[in-house]
Each structure stands twice: as structure tokens, then as C-alpha cells.
Amino acid sequence: MEMKFNDNWKFWIEGDSFALVWNIPDIAREVTLPHDAMIEKPAHEESLNGVNTGYRDGDVYNYVKLFQAPEEYKDKTVMLKFEGVYMNAFVYVNGQLAGKNPFGYTTFYVPLNNFLRFGQENEIRVQVRNGAMTNSRWYSGGGIYRDVYLLVSDLVHIVPEGVQVKTESADEEYAVLHVDTELENCFHTPAELVLETVIQDTAGNIAAQDSTVVTVFAQEKRKMSQRVTVVKPELWSDDTPVLYTCVTRLIKDGKVIDESSEKFGIRTLSLDARRGLRVNGSTVKLRGACIHHDSGLLGAATYDSVQFRQIRKLKEAGFNAIRMSHHPMAPAMLRACDELGMFVMDETFDMWNRCKSNYDYGLYFQEWWEKDVTAMVRKDFNHPSVILYSVGNEIPEIGTDHGAKICHDLSSKIKELDDTRFTLASINGVFAAGDQVDRIVADVVSDLSKAGKIDGNVNDFMTLMDGHMDEIVVHNAITERLEKACAGVDIAGYNYMTARYELDGEAYPNRVIVGSETYPPEIARNWNLVEKLDHVIGDFTWTGWDYIGEAGVGVPAYQWGEGGFGAGFPCQLAYPGDLDITGFRRPASYYREAVFGLRTKPYIAVQDPNRYGQQLIKTPWVISDTVSSWTWGGCEGKPVVVEVYSQGKETELFINGKSCGRKPAGKAAGFRTLFETTYEPGTILAVSYDEDGNQMGQIELHTAGEDRNLVLTAEPEMKDQMIYIDAVLCDQDGNTVTDSDMKITLNVEGCAEAVGFGSGNPKPKYNFNEGVTETFHGRAQIILMRTGSGKIQVKVSAEDGKTAELNLI
């Protein structure tokens, strides 16, 4: 029996981490898990975490739950399952340490039997020591931010995560499944059992079944294997995400003493440098997005419906794969990927033995990596969405002899646990050859100087990287490190090394490559190579969804300090996402959709005419500073640059019915056509034409009128209690007003509470729990959590007196 253990926790922040009094202070308050303690306090400029977490502090968090352990638990196996606690979790039962876990992203179990007082009240106390800063390069959140479960079973039982279903073979006629089940007997006498396995299809019908008699001896753990055949199987893929259920029952003396139910998909994987990655025998190119784990305005708190919404929106935007960066993915998101059809690259660590932050997981890696890798693979095994395991991200020591050995050990451990998926390391060649920077700079500068591409006096590596990354990543020093780094894995994950794709395909004809992290502005170039080269299986952009932390890395700027690497407070978001943190699609998303060949209709994005002629300071993650709007008050008659993203051969732009001419579009123009024109209020129209001159599609934008109002619109409700509401400033015709942002205040009455209120602004003035925010390009978002089944009234008031109301049932 597995039941959620999320309710009725007490929470407080420890004032003195060395306190000798073991009590529950008066400041403790009720919380329901999942809970992100870090997001509750506003960002501040003096935070020791700085840009890493968006200027939010970590701390020492305490959680306490009291529960009654019935007398009958004496003859049961009782444990707690924590899906994620960030970080350094210590679990005490009745004052005694029962378990701990330093990593913030893996599932861990805490056996309770030796600590419980049966028939009495028991205290579960979790101390989360997240106060050592810095310990993450991005927003981590803090506390018990994923679900907790209480597991109660017979002394003879199925081991948690012990049922693993593997597809041995599958075609249209038959699928052969190999089912392993781990059993444990905690009695001091043998147990004669029947192991029953039933495979059910989506309608609940029995598709296959098997029954095995087994005697498990005293104190023994045993893995039992069964093979079953499914007739006319429905195969799982990104286009057909069909899920089956494996119901496993353990029977003793005719009575079911334990039962497990696991969702899984029937699908096969294969990989080679000639046919690439194949799923169920068909070649697949991965249209990938890297993402971090925060849930936007909710911080790191992880809910099924929130993960489901995020995956749905990423898929609607054209992605078919995600990379969880840079740590194991939450079970809730894996369930969403399974159900919606999204391929997954799960990742182990962001560091090995060299810390990237002062107090990060590098302090524990050597002693804990094997346990955490095991936890990730056991969690992922039955999820058909998971097809790739990355053993690390941008590990600086990976190309050394000892680093290559660690890479081999990590990959071998994964293969020992799961031989059905493929392994890779996400390698940044520059970091891997970091001790060779002087040599690389000297050689590249010399070559560029001889070719007349630079004047020969470049002495700053970052300056060189900004304009000559291609020349750097093909340097022999990086080649040498890659040979060692790639030896232990199935796939070479290349971070920002597009220039190597063709060269390494020739030099290493058996090397399979994936663009494990790439710059958004290079998607047209990258995707052309992905489609052209059999040995390159996909591209994962940084990033698919915006996130908190790494503040400013994707913020376009016109003055130093406004954005980019020099961004300071109040910048809190990274801002390179195709979708902003509220899930609203930004122009880059539509550009990518055109490159992928998934959008025939053109898209219009407009560079800020207020900044025309000014030098845009941008990092490699920034395409341009655009908004999809034709509302620019005060810019009448000023020059403006309009970007049109189109798959057609040509694109034509019209302003108030007057043509600005036709220009090449599609692949010849990198799917991005620029028109320099003059801003005139009214209507702007873009038309896309195919090779024969026929219209493929058109799109138009209208200048917003003067009659402006706030409009609240609820998204369709999802799986659980979360409700998302858009608050948009519109004119009378529904055009979004993007140039007149204002402060708005939220009031919620009835059977819900506001758990998030904010916008996609990378420099928010208010915390997401303050009940006040400012619109950003005319938009804001409200997130409600239902507290009952009655009516809900939502009211938003603007500083100019405008109001909007929404009533929900």
C-alpha cells in the first residue's frame, strides 16, 4: 500500500541550527507538500547566491509531521518515500536519525520499523540544510518540494520500484515482454508464494498474464523473471503514446498480500551511425528542449498538473524531446511525458569531483554517485519516454584519464541496471580542455590573423569565443579530450560544438552525435545538419522554457548591466526560453517551429522601434529584442525592423495595405526575413509564398485601440486542483496592449487560494506570492489551488481603476 503523506506538516526556518531543544516552536505553521521554502521569501540584492538562484537565499528548513502508527504495523514493513528534497535532507523518527540524502534530486527511502512506537503517536522530522551558499548554478528551490509517500506492506512483499518491464521484441503481430519482480522476505521462515503478473491494455482488458510459484527463504531478496507475449500490441512513440499497465500480485495461502501497478509502454530502441536513432524501427530526429525543474511562479514545487501543462505546451510548440538539466527528472514530469508522448534525456549530475559552486554536490559525489545513479535508473525504468541517460553536464575533468574512467564507470553502472537505453555525456569541449586555453587562444588567433579575419591582438578568451566559437571547438586540444570523454558512452553529446558535426562524422564514422545543448539563434544551421547527417540524431536548445536563476543570461540589453552576463539585481530570470515562465510562447518559439517545418503560416515579430539604431548587447542565447506586436505608442513615423519567420520561398510584408516588397524566405534566408520600414499604426500583414508563387499562409497584427480593459481567461482545468488564469490588457477587439504595462492587484475569494501571481518579466518588482504584480507586454498570470469544491471569485484591480472579475465553479 502506497499513500501520499503530504498533509498536515509543520514548517519553520531554523534560527539556530545548533539548537539543543527538540521542540516545535510557536513560529511553525501548517504546510501541505510539495513545498518550496525558497520561493516564499523575496529576492534581494545582497543574496549570497546572487544571480545563480535569482537572488534568493537558501536556509535551514524544518518539517514535522505527527502520525499514529497502528499496532498492526508491528507485523508490516513500513517506510517513507521522498521523491525530492533540496538539499542535505536528514530524516529523524522520534528524535533518531533514520535516513539522509545529500543530493536534492533523487528519490530515497527511509525504513521506519526500527524507530516507530506502535499504537502511539510518532514524530517525523525532516531537517533540510540548504543554508550553505552557493550550492547551485540555477534556482534550486529549497525544502520538500516533491511528493512524499508512506509505504506499508507485509513482511513478505514486492520491493519498491522492484517491478521492471522490458520490451524484448515488438512488431505489429507480437510483443515479447520480460518482467522482473524483486521480492523480499523479512520473516525468519520461508514463504511459499504465487507471483501473478497481469498486463492490461488502455481499456483495462487483459492483454497477457503469467503465474509463477516461488519459495522465498528467510531474510532473502530474490528477483523473479517472467516472459509474456502480447498479441497485436499498440506501440508507444511520441505520436502514439499508448500505455499499458502491469499489475503484479503476491499471493500467500490464497490471499493477496501485496500488489503493485506500473504503467509502461511497449517500444523498441536501436542506434547506429548509419540509421541514427530508431524507435520501433523508424528513424527519429529529436526536436529537443533543455529545461530546468522549476515550475515558474510556483518555484520548485512539483505538481502533476503543472508538469502535464508544461509538457503539453512544449509539445504544441513543436518539441518532441526534452533534456532535464542537469539532474534526474521528477516522477510527475515523467508521467506527463509518457502520457503525452515526449522523449526524455534524463541526466545524472552537473558536477563530479570538481565543484562548480562552493557547496554543491561535488562535495559528496565520490561517496554517493552510485546510490544516486541507481535511484535515477530505478525511477525511470518503466517510463517509455526515457530513451537517453546523460552521465553529466559540462564536466571539466571528463577528458582527463581519471575523468574518462569515471565516465566509463557511470555508464557501466547504468548499463548494469538498464541495458535498454543509451548513454551519453553532455560535453562542452572548451571546458573539457580548460587547461589548454592559452594554447587554443594562441593557435586560433594565429590562424585567424593569417586569414585576415582579426587584427591579431585578441588576448581575451571570452572575446574570442563571442565571434569565433567554430574555430575554437575544432582545435586539436579539444579533439584529444573528446576521444577520451566519448570512449565510455554510446553517444557523444556536444554542447555548442556544431562545427564538429560533419568533421567528426568523417573522422569517427561510428560516432553518433546529439546536440545536447545549443544556441537558439543557430537552430536553422543546426537543424539543417541534423536532417542532413545520419549520425546526428537531434538538437536540444537552451532552453525550451524560461526559468528562475542564471539571471540575465538571455536578456537582451542596450546598456551594460541591463542584461546578459553583466545583468544585476532586480534581474531574476534567465530569459532564453522559447516559452516564458508562464508558458506564453515567445517569438523564438515560432521561429523554431518554422525551421522544424511544422508551421506553414508566417509569424511577425517586431524589434523595438524605441531602440532603433542602438547597438544590441546580447549573449549567444539571444536572437533579437522582439515582441509580436504592432502597438508602439509614441513611435509613429520612426524606423522599425520587422522580422518574419516563414517556411515559404518568399515573404511579402504589407503595412495598411501597402506592400513593403517581397524577400527571400525559408531555408535560403535562414527562415528569418528582415524588413526595415516605418511604424504606422494600423495593420501589418505578412504573406508566405511557395516555390510556385502560391500563398502558403498569412498573419496580421493590429494596433490596439484606446478603449482598454483587463480580461481574465481561465485555461481548461487539469488533472488536479491547479487553475491557471491569464490576465491580459486588451482593447475592445481583443488586441493585446503591449506598450502600457501597469501594476495590478489580486483578490481571491471562495474555495481557492492564490499560489502564484506574476508575469514573464525577467526583472519582476514583486515576489510571486505578494498578490500584486505588473503586466509584462500586457500579460500576467494567476495560479490558484483549489481548497474545496465550491465557487471561486477572482478579481484583479489596476492602478488606473480598471477591474476584471472571473467566477469559477
**Spatial distance between the Cα atoms of 786 and 807, rounded to a whole number of angstroms:** 13
What does the pLDDT read at residue 470? 87
Q: How far is CA 407 from CA 251, 271, 411, 505, 513, in A?
A: 42, 20, 6, 22, 17
Other C-beta atoms within 10 Å of 71: how many?
Answer: 9
Q: What is the mean pLDDT of residues 756-780?
A: 97
The owner of cell 536501436 is 270
The grid cell for 592 is: 523554431
pLDDT at 429: 92
Q: Are 336 and 319 in contact (CB under 8 A)?
A: no
pLDDT at residue 561, as a whole number: 84
Polymer length in residues for the chain = 809
What is the 8-class DSSP label of residue 596? T
Residues ≥6 apart with Cβ < 8 Å to 402: none
Q: How many CB atoms lie within 10 A of CB 37?
A: 27
Cell 492483454 locates to 207
Give residue 8's Cα distance to chain centre. 29
437-450 and 476-485 helices, crossing angle to 10°: 140
Identify the bridge partners of residue 650 per DSSP, sorted by sequence position.
664, 689
Interacting residues of 345 by C-beta distance below 8 A, sequence separation 6+: 288, 321, 322, 323, 324, 387, 388, 389, 390, 424, 514, 516, 540
What number of other Cβ atoms are within 10 A of residue 762's Cβ? 26
Cα separation, 232 vs 173, whole angstroms: 5
Go through the domains of the chain in sequence order and give each one's CATH number.
2-153 (2.60.120.260), 156-267 (2.60.40.10), 277-430+486-546 (3.20.20.80), 434-474 (no CATH), 595-702 (2.60.40.10), 708-808 (2.60.40.10)
> Taking 80 as the threshold, does the pLDDT of residue 570 lie above it?
yes
37: helix, strand or coil = coil
Q: What's residue 92's pLDDT?
A: 98
Q: Name the band, by pLDDT with cuts 50, 70 and 90, for residue 789.
A: confident
CA distance 601 to 609: 25
Amino acid 455: pLDDT = 61
Q: Return the amino acid letter for 185.
A: N
Q: How far apart are CA 5 and CA 91, in angstroms?
A: 14
| 598 three-class SS | coil
For residue 422, give the nearest of 365, 494, 344, 325 by alpha carbon: 344
Q: What integer is the mean pLDDT of 608-636? A: 95
| Residue 18 confidence (pLDDT) | 57
3-state helix, strand, coil in the chain (%, to 5): 20, 40, 40
Q: d(Cα 655, Cα 305) in Å, to the nearest integer?
A: 42
Give, in degrees to the nearest 5, the angle at Cα 497 between 494 and 502: 95
Number of C-beta neighbours around residue 138 at 10 A: 22
Residue 446 pLDDT class (50, 70, 90 cuts)? confident
Task: Label residue 336 by pLDDT band (50, 70, 90).
Answer: very high
Work out the average pLDDT over 163-173: 97
**Which of 288-297, 410-419, 426-435, 530-539 shows the lowest mean pLDDT across its residues?**
426-435
- In this prediction, residues 330-346 reach a mean pLDDT of 98
Percent of the chain with pLDDT over 70: 97
Region 542-569 average pLDDT: 93
Task: Give the Cα-Cα-Cα angle 188, 194, 200 (nearest 5 degrees).
Answer: 135
Strand order in the sheet with 269-272: 269-272, 276-279, 282-283
**CA pair distance 135, 390, nearest whole angstrom:** 21
Q: What is the pLDDT of residue 640?
A: 98
Average pLDDT, the chain: 95
Measured distance CA(345)–CA(583) in Å, rounded: 21
Calculate mean pLDDT across residues 728-734.
Answer: 94
Percentage of the chain lying above the pLDDT 90 cut:
89
pLDDT in tens, 6-53: 999 999 997 665 566 789 999 999 999 999 999 999 999 999 999 999
Got the DSSP string for 110-142? EE-TTT--TTEEEEEEEEEE--SS---SS----
Whether 441 has a pLDDT exceeding 90, the answer reads no
**Residue 718: per-residue pLDDT:** 65
Whole-number pLDDT of residue 464: 65
Query: Around Cβ 256, how many Cβ atoms within 10 Å?
Result: 12
Is the per-residue pLDDT at 458 higher than 60? no
Give how far the C-alpha of residue 191 lies from the chain's centroid of Cα atoms, to the nearest Å: 44
Query: pTM value?
Result: 0.96
Provide the pLDDT for residue 454: 66
**pLDDT surpassing 60 at residue 385:** yes
How high is the pLDDT of residue 566? 84
CA distance 728 to 458: 48
CA distance 594 to 644: 10
Q: Which range, of 58-67, 420-429, 459-468, 777-786, averages the lowest pLDDT?
A: 459-468
Predicted local confidence at residue 337, as pLDDT: 98
602 burial (CB, 10 Å; 0-12 / 13-18 / 19+) is: buried
On whether the CB atoms of residues 682 and 636 are closer than 8 A, the answer is no
